[in-house]
């Protein structure tokens, strides 16, 4: 069982934290179209840029509310209160139409599944008694608690497991969804993910988990019990055990240093091709990065944002190197990096770079980051210099994409036409 795509995928995370808000102060408030409809109308553009997978926000209804120090929010999908697919992002019918439109352009769709927790105080259709056996409080939770753990689901309870499986089948069979982004996976056992993937009626195309837990002391983390304190081993272990991918949190940590020379320490640059293909690389996401400004919540979560001056270099790295790259919506469509991202994706595709590609490290001879990447046949087809004095591989190669003073990408002249 493997749900890792075809090795050539490029993901777009097609949402951010400030899109929709329960109190009507999201960035699309006042527009006649839902977010699903806006994406539907952009399907041609997404295909032209080169994305092969679109990653959508949590699809279930969420009208939660929160207020803190003058800010407010809720409705983002992460405190859903039933399995109704008529969410703040659009209706079930609009979701089906969006998936069809993307499929017609060769783009697959994954959705964010939040299976660990929900807004237990506001259940409407799924009346699981609280506290009780369906919850961490009153039952048993096999993973780390989300926040204070009050509304953590007990996935070992058959009612919870079977209801989530039913909801996944609805997304796969009725809506045409192709796979999952698993939220907060250190909060539950990887066996739960494997069981759902095996038991749903349709085989998923792609699956990726968010294992973001650096502390080696969380005794209720199933991955620490299995793989020990090293975060690298736990991330790779989760991906291998699940049959899918995991986000490259190690690379994200190196991106935060804003030092190009440190990029080679990410999991996507590991010596083993079997490990390189297990990771999804990214620069920012809805939790870690900024979002376009909303009066409800300012510039969004920003719990670990990439330094803005380093973003272009970070994208030059993930879009040329092994792993499966994931682009964050605002970076492409709000922060002015769209054309750079388009050119980098085109160079990657011309060069035939895949998730398990091999590469030659040139950083010991140059400043910053420099390397030569191979296609799936082991041929050197892409060279990259990021914040480096590396001037390229020479005769027979030409520049495929460049941002002067920051990065340059070369591919063989025979491919650059």
The pair of structure tokens assigned to 253 is 């940590």
Separation CA 46–CA 122 (nearest Å): 36
Instruction: Find the catalytic residue in 183, 221, 275, 277.
Output: 183
CA pair distance 302, 300, nearest whole angstrom: 6
Q: What number of other Cβ atoms are within 10 A of residue 363's Cβ?
A: 18
Q: Give me the residue label for tokens 């941002």.
A: 403
Distance CA 125, CA 130 (A): 14
Active site residue 210: yes
Tokens of 370: 């420099």
Task: Give, as one character, the DSSP assignment of residue 51.
Answer: -
Report yes or no: 312 and 326 within 8 Å, Cβ to Cβ. Answer: no
Of 324, 329, 286, 322, the C-alpha closest to 45 is 329
Helix (H, G, I), strand (E, B) or coil at 200: coil
Query: Which tokens hold the place of 176?
Result: 């045409």
Mapping DSSP to helix (H, G, I), strand (E, B) and coil, where does residue 58 land?
coil
Cα–Cα dist 278/275, whole Å: 5
Quick one: which H or E segment has residue 374?
strand 369-374
Q: 119, 152, 204, 210: which one is catalytic? A: 210
What letter would DSSP give residue 260?
A: G
The rounded distance, in Å, linking the Cα atoms of 413 and 395 is: 9
φ, ψ of residue 80 to 5 degrees: the values are -65, 155
Coil, helix or strand for 298? strand
Q: Which residues pair with 206 in a beta bridge?
A: 4, 179
Q: Could you tell me how far CA 68 lies from the centroid of its own chain?
A: 27
Q: How far is CA 184 from CA 97, 114, 188, 319, in A?
A: 28, 8, 8, 25
Helix axes 231-242, 190-199, angle to 10 degrees: 20
CA–CA separation, 57 vs 281, rounded Å? 18
Give the bridge partners for 213, in sequence order.
none
Q: Are strands 407-412 and 397-403 parallel, antiparallel or unpaired?
A: antiparallel
Positions annotated as catalytic residues are 183, 210
């Amino acid at each position: 069982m493997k749900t890792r795509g075809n090795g050539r995928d490029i993901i777009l995370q097609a949402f951010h934290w400030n899109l929709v808000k329960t109190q009507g102060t999201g960035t699309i408030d006042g527009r006649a179209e839902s977010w699903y409809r806006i994406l539907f109308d952009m399907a041609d553009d997404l295909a032209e840029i080169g994305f092969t997978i679109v990653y959508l926000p949590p699809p279930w209804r969420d009208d939660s509310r929160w207020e803190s120090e003058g800010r407010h929010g809720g409705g983002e999908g992460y405190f859903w209160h039933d399995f109704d697919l008529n969410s703040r992002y659009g209706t079930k019918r609009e979701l089906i139409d969006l998936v069809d439109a993307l499929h017609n352009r060769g783009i697959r769709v994954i959705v964010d599944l939040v299976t660990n927790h929900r807004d237990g105080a506001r259940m409407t259709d799924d009346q699981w008694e609280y506290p009780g056996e369906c919850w961490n409080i009153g039952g048993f939770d096999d993973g780390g608690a989300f926040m204070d753990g009050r509304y953590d689901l007990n996935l070992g309870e058959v009612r919870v497991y079977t209801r989530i499986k039913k909801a996944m089948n609805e997304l796969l069979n009725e809506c045409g969804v192709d796979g999952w982004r698993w939220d907060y996976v250190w909060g539950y056992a990887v066996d739960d993910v494997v069981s759902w993937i095996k038991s749903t009626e349709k085989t998923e195309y792609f699956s990726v988990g968010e294992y973001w837990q650096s502390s080696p002391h969380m005794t209720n983390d199933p991955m620490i019990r299995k793989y020990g304190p090293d975060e690298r081993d736990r991330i790779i272990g989760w991906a291998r055990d699940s049959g899918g991918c995991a986000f490259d949190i190690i690379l994200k940590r190196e991106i935060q240093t804003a030092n190009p020379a440190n990029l080679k320490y990410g999991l996507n640059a590991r010596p083993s091709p079997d490990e390189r293909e297990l990771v999804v690389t990214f620069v920012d996401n809805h939790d870690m990065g900024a979002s376009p400004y909303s009066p409800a919540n300012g510039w969004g979560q920003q719990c670990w944002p990439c330094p803005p001056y380093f973003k272009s270099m970070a994208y030059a790295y993930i879009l040329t190197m092994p792993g499966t790259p994931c682009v964050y919506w605002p970076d492409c469509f709000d922060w002015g990096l769209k054309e750079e991202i388009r050119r980098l994706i085109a160079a990657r595709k011309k060069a035939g770079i895949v998730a398990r590609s091999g590469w030659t490290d040139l950083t010991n001879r140059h400043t910053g980051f420099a390397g030569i990447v191979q296609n799936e046949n082991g041929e050197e087809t892409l060279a990259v210099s990021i914040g480096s004095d590396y001037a390229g591989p020479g005769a027979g190669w030409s520049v495929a994409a460049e941002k002067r003073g920051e990065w340059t990408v070369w591919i063989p002249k025979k491919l650059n036409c």
